[in-house]
Chain A
Amino acid sequence: MVRLQHHQQSQDKRVYLQYENRQPDETVNYNREHPLKEFAWLFFGLLGVVLVGAMVLGFFGGEIAARVPFSVEKDYARRINEHWENKPRDVEGEAVRAALRELAAKLAAVMNLPQGMSVDVHYSPEGIANAFATLGGNVVFYRGLLEKFDSEDAVALVMAHEIAHAKLRHPAASLGRGIAVGLTLSLVSAAVGERAAGGVLQTAGTLPLLKYSRDQESDADTEALAALAAVYGHVGGARDAFGVMAKLGGGDTPRGPQVNILRTHPLTADRIAAVDRMAAERGWRADGERTPLPLALAKLKLKAAQPAKEIPAPER
């Protein structure tokens, strides 16, 4: 130990001033606990709060939005309707749309739509293999999907599925959920203040939304099967339609792993299994004679097959 000693004359006594630096306990000023412990508490605690919060917010957001009168939703979605209605259509497009609307009317008749609800079916001649239902009872079919089906039954399954989304107010519920969860999540991730960490919480927070989405799809499938059985006397069309979807790569999100929890739609294999199960439960015939495609849709399919025929034959 080093000491500096200075002395001073104080009256008669000599007083020693002693200077030394003793080593204080260095552990006083910081936490000796393992930092991973704190991290685990904070991170998994927050993750849990976000998951539960998103689930609760999603539930209430969805419930509230689905209770908004359909007329309000329809009015709000007026622009969506106009967008699709005013798209220029050729003769073929007009015919396909008419055929789709006829099919929709046939199915809606057995689907017990609530009072005042109507479904507007639209057709888009784009090659995307998709169909969707959005706000205001607007259902859109793309050429890319329609030309994949061989029978009316299969088209009817998809149509009934989308009508069921509208009937059960799924687009409104998703919007309500999205807003409730999205707003809260962006507040939380902004508070964390770090991009990647915020992103992780955002991702975690959307998991409950995906769960709700899968539930919606299953509910819509159930409704669609009932409609199919009522109109055609069997649910064979479901088998065909899901077969086509499986070939297309399993629903709306071909990217991503085949893990149920990360998807908006249930796995196609699970959906087919659900068809068989439900058919057995409710005594529907699982298979039966298929109704041929309406003329306009058959033409569409034929046209899609055309380019293959134009391949020049090998010279003789």
Chain B
Amino acid sequence: MDFILNFLDVFLFFGLLVLGFSVGRWKERRHYKSIREREAKYANILAFAVRYPPDVVTPQDCQLVAGSVVISSDYFKQIVAGLRTLIGGKLSSYESLLDRARREATLRMKEQAQRFGATLVINVKVESTTVSGGTRRGLPAMEVIAYGTALKPRVSPTTQA
């Protein structure tokens, strides 16, 4: 017992590390699986980062659609990143995190577009912000938002009714 108390820091560190790694990795895999499934599901909603709409004559209804997600790193990723910042280089532990967040946000945007009844989203912007306040000791959490304009051909009120 004394031994554990004397080296509490060390035990805490490795305990959190193992927990963060195993659960974090499991969650990441599950998230990627869900992302791939939904990407296939929403493949009919097209998204583009072009500013100009297709040059069509039919009037279009448009609607701003957005999807956002706040994602946080697990303890393991945080430690690897912390160690990595000492020597510099690629913080690969955070790369997959941000990749997940961007794809998740884009999917949520497409979901909204589908609810609007559109199959085309243009002028898509993706932005990320730290939610933790940017301090070292703060919670390393990122918000990623994807937004764009969903277009659908205008249906006249009479045909709708």
Q: A142 to B25: give the CA distance in the assembly, Å.
A: 56
Set of chain A residues within 8 Å of B12, measured between Cβ atoms: 196, 199
Q: A22 to B9: give the CA distance in the assembly, Å.
A: 49
Task: Determine if B82 and A197 form an interchain contact, defined as CB atoms under 8 angstroms apart.
Answer: yes
Query: Which of B6, B79, B83, B120 lies at the interface centre, i.e. has the most chain A CB atoms within 10 A of its CB?
Result: B83
Extra 9 A-B pairs, beta carbons < 8 Å, given A39-B79, A196-B12: A30-B96, A35-B21, A46-B86, A192-B86, A194-B78, A194-B79, A194-B82, A197-B83, A257-B2
Task: Determine if B76 and A256 form an interchain contact, defined as CB atoms under 8 angstroms apart.
Answer: no
Cβ distance A31 to chain B, nearest Cβ, rounded Å: 4
Q: Taking the complex as formed, is B43 at the interface, i.e. its CB lies under 8 A from any CB of chain A?
A: yes
Give the interface of A toward B (CB within 8 A).
Answer: 1-2, 4, 6, 8, 17, 19-21, 23, 26, 29-31, 33, 35-36, 38-39, 42-43, 46, 188, 191-197, 199-200, 202-203, 255-257, 262
Q: A48 to B127: give the CA distance in the assembly, Å.
A: 40
- Show 6 A/B contacts (Cβ-Cβ < 8 Å), sorted by A: A2-B44, A29-B99, A39-B80, A42-B84, A196-B16, A200-B10
Task: Determine if B95 and A29 form an interchain contact, defined as CB atoms under 8 angstroms apart.
Answer: yes
Give the interface of B toward A (CB within 8 A).
Answer: 2-3, 5-7, 9-10, 12-13, 16, 21, 25, 39, 43-44, 46-48, 54-56, 76-80, 82-87, 90, 92-93, 95-96, 99, 103, 119-120, 136-137
Task: Determine if B13 and A6 form an interchain contact, defined as CB atoms under 8 angstroms apart.
Answer: no
Set of chain B residues within 8 Å of A23, measured between Cβ atoms: 39, 43
Task: Determine if A21 and B47 form an interchain contact, defined as CB atoms under 8 angstroms apart.
Answer: yes
Q: A140 to B10: give the CA distance in the assembly, Å.
A: 34
Task: Determine if B46 and A19 form an interchain contact, defined as CB atoms under 8 angstroms apart.
Answer: yes
Q: Total contacts A to B, CB within 8 angstroms?
A: 106
Q: A195 to B10: give the CA distance in the assembly, Å.
A: 11
Cβ distance B24 to chain A, nearest Cβ, rounded Å: 9
Set of chain B residues within 8 Å of A4, measured between Cβ atoms: 46, 54, 119-120
Task: Determine if B92 and A255 form an interchain contact, defined as CB atoms under 8 angstroms apart.
Answer: no
Set of chain B residues within 8 Å of A192, measured between Cβ atoms: 82-83, 85-86
Q: A34 to B90: give the CA distance in the assembly, Å.
A: 14
**Given known contacts A4-B46, A33-B92, A199-B13, A193 and B54 CB-to-CB distance under 8 angstroms:** no
Cβ distance B63 to chain A, nearest Cβ, rounded Å: 17
Set of chain B residues within 8 Å of A191, measured between Cβ atoms: 85-86
Task: Determine if A203 and B93 form an interchain contact, defined as CB atoms under 8 angstroms apart.
Answer: no
Q: A17 to B55: give the CA distance in the assembly, Å.
A: 9
With beta carbons under 8 angstroms apart, the residue of A17, A30, A257 that contacts B92 is A30
**Given known contacts A42-B84, A188-B86, A200-B10, A2 and B136 CB-to-CB distance under 8 angstroms:** no
